[in-house]
Amino acid sequence: MTTWSKKTNGVLIGVVGLTGFCPAAVADFGWSESTSFSLDLLPVMPSAFGSSDSVSFSLDLLTMPSMTGWAESATFVLDTTDPPPCIGVADCCDLDGNGVRDDPCLWCECVANACVFVNKDAPSDMGGAFGDCPSDTFCNVHDANLALQCFAGLAACEDMNVDAGGPFGACAPDGFCNVHDRNHALTCFSGENPCSCSGGPAPEYGPVIVDHATLTLAPSRWTAQPGETVEIRVFIDKEAVSGQLSAVSRSRRVEPALQSYQLHLGVSGGRRGRLELIDITIEDRRDFIFDGADGVFDAYNVGNGQMLAGLDAGSVTNVAHAYLATFTYRASADAAGAFVVDVLHDEAVGDQTFLVAPAAGKIAVSGSRPAVVGVGGEPSASRR
């Protein structure tokens, strides 16, 4: 019998193995080899809460309400030892269970059911060289690349350890690994990141909005048949705000230019079936936002419908109807109706669409023009 339980407040709660039944009888009752439930043993065996690590006893199943109709007896073995200190990294790093690492200055791991911690010199030190774990006391290109690998779902390190900080330069981790973590690593390497592990309160400030922009989604075709593909190209149109930057913006040398971005697209509508994302690419186009620039990085996560790109150094200012990326969708065999593909940019959600200016400035997404594709003979929206 394989059993496990935990003694909590005088109640043994665990997985209980059964013996004494033929397999067919157990299966007829709807049980597998073990079944989970709670059982209060105080009226039955007070000695169960002594110093022994396990206890064995028999019960008449007829006396148990959940097993009414069974008069057989079964032997239960319950382990009363405490559970291991950790099963996963969250048991070590996220004690409040909010999905965010408790201490950005500790790299942590659960090894053989024991928590292992490594002190970090900087929150942006996310890992070792060439994607290795744990951190190596440096923040450099390896940490920047690790953030991209984590975003794409390819990192060997736990996502919680790769979360170097929050959006637009905020020091507190936000529970995601994305373009902001890449930028944290680059600014740490250049000595311009104010987040440190040297003691004292970390600086806290919200992003400075230096500009606004709208995003336009242009489909390669406005109608499609089930099984066919359609490409959705995303373009940016900057809408200039007032030419005067705030005093905070000037002090942080924030410029109204684009340094990096992250896109997250979603699909809604349709009478039936799905418009399934099958690929994300950046095409070789002269109107690409970073065309001709050096040090361009990019990463893709088709499963999440996300991509990111940016510059290791520098930024661009000419973004009038610049091309960002192409998302390719396939209509399922049963698809029919008008499907709407749009940019997800709800700031309350967190890890969606970002446009990042130098010095962690923010280009706010003020709106988007979605693409509407009619599938199976359904009419689509007219071309804008």
CATH of the domain at 350: 2.60.40.680
Domain final position from 79, 101, 119: 79
Which pLDDT score, from 0 to 100, does residue 34 have?
A: 40
Q: Are 167 and 174 in contact (CB under 8 A)?
A: yes
Q: Is residue 231 part of a domain?
A: yes
Domain with 96 in it: 90-189
Q: Is residue 298 classed as helix, strand or coil in its secondary structure? A: strand
- If one counts the domains in the chain, the total is 3
Give residue-wise pLDDT tens across range 317-330.
877 789 999 999 99
3-class DSSP state of 280: strand
Task: Report if residue 51 sits inside a domain.
Answer: yes
Q: What is the DSSP letter of 316?
A: B
Q: How confident is the model at residue 130 (pLDDT cuts 50, 70, 90)?
A: confident
DSSP designation for 175: S
pLDDT average, residue stretch 371-380:
83
Residue in this structure with the two tokens 């095409």, named with its chain if needed: 283
Distance CA 345, CA 120 (A): 33
Residue 9 lies in a domain: yes
Q: Is residue 196 part of a domain?
A: no
Q: Kindly state the tokens that stand for 68.
A: 């009414």
**240 occurs within a structural domain:** yes
243 plus 141 within the same structural domain: no
pLDDT on residue 234: 97
Strands 106-111 and 114-119: antiparallel
Q: pTM higher than 0.85 for the full model?
A: no
- Joined together, the tokens standing for residue 135 give 């951190």
Q: Are residues 156 and 237 in the same domain?
A: no
CB 76 within 8 A of CB 58: yes
pLDDT in tens, 161-210: 899 888 888 888 988 998 889 888 888 887 888 888 876 555 555 678 88
Residue 56 has a CB neighbour count (10 Å cut-off) of 12
Which residues have a Cβ under 8 Å from the Cβ of 30 and sit 6 or more positions away? none
End-of-domain residue from the set 24, 45, 79: 79
Would you say residue 84 lies in a domain?
no
Shared domain for 241 and 364, answered yes or no, is yes
Highest-scoring range by mean pLDDT, 43-52, 241-250, 354-363: 354-363
DSSP string, 330-367: EE-TT-BEEEEEEE---TTT-SS-EEEEGGGEEEEEEE
Average pLDDT over every residue of 287-316: 92
On whether both 153 and 222 belong to a single domain, the answer is no
Domain boundary among 79, 99, 132: 79
Are 169 and 219 within one domain?
A: no
What pLDDT is recorded for position 10? 30
Query: What is the chain's percent helix, strand, coil content, to nearest 5?
Result: 15, 35, 50
Model pLDDT for residues 264-298, shown as the tens digit of each residue:
999 999 999 999 999 999 999 999 999 999 999 99
